[in-house]
């Protein structure tokens, strides 16, 4: 077996030297130190707390209005957003900001209203441009800051308060501003923001904290014309280079700074109520990181891992102090075995995986989960409190965003055309 593996390594090395620019546009896979390899637990198949049968889950679908040949708007919402008045929004895969209002129970064929399936009126509020908006947050002035995986950090202001009209005469027309597409390094050079992913806003300072997940750029899918942001994340995970960063934008000065580097696809971002720290997820380490904001020269701390899958978005409740983490997909056993291999064989195999066509890349498993966590304080360490889970993705799958609002947890997904709502108790 060892001889066969050695032959594979030699073949991959020969191909790499000959066709490097074409086969490895993002470089070779790199060594992943043991402390940065995925720390992920096994899925408990008996935990079905995120299914409709649990009685805690509600799903919201777009309602089709009679007589309208409408284009669907509630399409693959990565994260659920609420404005300062409590109105719900999503940003869909076509870069539209969409409000969801007028919620009604869905009526079945027997004429009875469902208590777990709701419908909502979906209204396009604004066109967010040509990129791929993911996470977003409203500031106290009503401007929506959003992370665009293609363009960088952006914002849109002057949004209408009443979405029945697209403009308000007393306000300027809303338009998208690109706030940050690059960040200056210590040596004075500039580094582009290639994959802005999530954003949160400090409740005290108004500073905008956001993630730059990777230096791997997304490409357009030639068939659908949409940005293929999932493939870029897979490349980053297999490559193992850990180029993710936590950034901060200060509106008063217009400056962007780097708070933390070395994330294995730095993903979800959440600030606590006192703005003393920022939580962010390092997806391909399977970990939650905490970055202190009130300490000079602070370093991020890995506070939690061993979740049953790779992590995505994160959000914190200002009322309870608890936080919530999206678990997008479990660890594939084969992928886990490759990550566990010694570097001399694991690294060439991961390089080989980077050469595969997109059609042969590992598929995301049908699975849905989110975790409730205590982020830790001076009295107790960080801990996982409970896992909401649909082990085979029957009712909820590929949770990419979590938003706590008024005692409920709203679930977004890049693969769903609905919003999941979990009643927290």
Report residue 394's pLDDT band, with 50, 70 and 90 as the boundaries.
Answer: very high
307-344 confidence digits (pLDDT tens)? 999 999 999 999 999 999 999 999 999 999 999 999 99
In a domain, 85, yes or no: yes
What mean pLDDT do residues 359-383 have?
93
For residues 99-123, give the mean pLDDT.
Answer: 87
| CATH number of the domain within which 321 lies | 2.120.10.30
Asked if the structure places residue 13 within a domain, the reply is no
DSSP state, residue 73: -
Could you tell me the pLDDT band of residue 65, with boundaries at 50, 70 and 90?
confident
| pLDDT at site 357 | 85
Q: What is the pLDDT at residue 163?
A: 47
Collect all residues with Cβ–Cβ distance below 8 Å to 153 and sequence separation of at least 6: 145, 146, 147, 178, 179, 180, 181, 193, 196, 199, 208, 210, 247, 249, 256
Q: How far is CA 236 from CA 86, 116, 412, in A?
A: 36, 38, 22
Report strand pairing: 113-127 vs 144-148.
Answer: unpaired
Q: How confident is the model at residue 232 (pLDDT cuts 50, 70, 90)?
A: very high
Does 17 reside within a domain?
Answer: no
Residue of 352 and 307 predicted with greater confidence? 307
Would you say residue 116 lies in a domain? Answer: yes
**In-domain check, residue 198:** yes
pLDDT digits (tens, 9 = 90+) for 142-197: 999 999 999 999 999 999 875 444 545 567 889 999 999 999 999 999 999 999 99
Quick one: average pLDDT of 396-414?
A: 98
Quick one: DSSP state of residue 65? P
Is the CB of residue 311 less than 8 Å from the CB of residue 328?
yes
| Closest by Cα among 360, 362, 130, 354 to 226 | 130
- In a domain, residue 395? The reply is yes
Whole-prediction pTM: 0.92
Q: What domain range includes position 123? A: 50-64+73-330+365-423
Are residues 289 and 300 in contact, defined by beta-carbon separation less than 8 angstroms?
yes
* More reliable by pLDDT, 167 or 301: 301
User: How many domains does one find in the chain?
Assistant: 1
- Taking residues 6-24, report their average pLDDT: 60
Domain presence at residue 359? no
Task: Kindly report the backbone phi and psi dihedral angles of residue 251, in degrees, each rounded to the nearest multiple of 5, phi listed first.
Answer: -60, -35
Tokens at 7, concatenated: 């032959």
Return the residue matching tokens 């891992």: 305
In a domain, 90, yes or no: yes
Mean pLDDT on 204-224: 95
Instruction: Name the nearest CA neighbour of 289 among 317, 307, 268.
Output: 268
Please work out, in degrees rounded to the nearest 5, the angle formed at the alpha carbon of residue 101 by the alpha carbons of 98 and 102. 150
Q: Output the pLDDT for position 24.
A: 77
How large is the average pLDDT for residues 198-222?
97
């Amino acid at each position: 077996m060892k001889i066969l593996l050695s032959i594979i390594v030699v073949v991959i090395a020969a191909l790499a030297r000959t066709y490097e620019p074409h086969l490895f546009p993002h470089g070779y896979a790199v060594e992943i130190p043991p402390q940065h390899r995925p720390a992920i637990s096994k899925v408990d198949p008996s935990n079905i707390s995120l299914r409709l049968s649990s009685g805690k889950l509600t799903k919201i679908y777009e309602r089709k209005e009679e007589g309208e040949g409408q284009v669907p708007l509630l399409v693959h919402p990565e994260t659920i957003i609420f404005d300062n008045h409590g109105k719900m929004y999503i940003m869909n895969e076509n870069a539209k900001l969409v409000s969801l209002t007028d919620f009604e129970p869905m009526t079945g064929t027997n004429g009875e209203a469902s208590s777990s399936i709701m419908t909502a009126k979906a209204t396009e509020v604004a066109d967010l441009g040509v990129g791929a908006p993911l996470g977003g947050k409203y500031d106290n002035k009503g401007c929506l800051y959003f992370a665009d995986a293609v363009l960088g950090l952006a914002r849109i202001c002057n949004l209408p308060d009443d979405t029945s009209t697209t403009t308000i005469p007393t306000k300027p027309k809303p338009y998208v501003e690109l706030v940050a597409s690059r960040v200056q390094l210590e040596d004075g050079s500039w580094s582009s923001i290639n994959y802005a992913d999530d954003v949160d806003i400090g409740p005290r300072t108004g500073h905008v904290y956001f993630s730059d997940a990777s230096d791997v750029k997304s490409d357009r899918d030639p068939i659908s014309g949409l940005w293929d942001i999932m493939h870029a994340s897979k490349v980053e995970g297999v490559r193992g280079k850990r180029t993710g960063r936590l950034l901060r934008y200060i509106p008063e000065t217009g400056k962007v700074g780097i708070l933390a580097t070395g994330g294995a696809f730095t993903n979800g971002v959440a600030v606590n109520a006192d703005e003393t720290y920022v939580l962010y997820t390092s997806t391909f380490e399977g970990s939650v990181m905490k970055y202190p904001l009130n300490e000079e020269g602070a370093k991020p701390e890995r506070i939690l891992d061993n979740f049953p899958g790779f992590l995505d978005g994160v959000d914190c409740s200002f009322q309870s102090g608890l936080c919530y983490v999206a678990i997008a997909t479990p660890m594939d056993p084969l992928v886990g075995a490759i990550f566990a291999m010694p570097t001399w064989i694991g690294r060439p195999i991961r390089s080989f995986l980077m050469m595969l066509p997109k059609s042969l890349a590992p598929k995301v498993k049908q699975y849905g989960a989110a975790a409730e966590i205590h982020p830790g304080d001076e009295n107790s360490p960080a801990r996982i409190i409970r896992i909401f889970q649909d082990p085979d993705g029957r009712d909820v799958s590929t949770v990419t965003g979590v938003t706590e609002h008024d005692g409920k947890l709203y679930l977004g997904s890049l693969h769903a055309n609905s919003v999941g709502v979990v009643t927290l108790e």
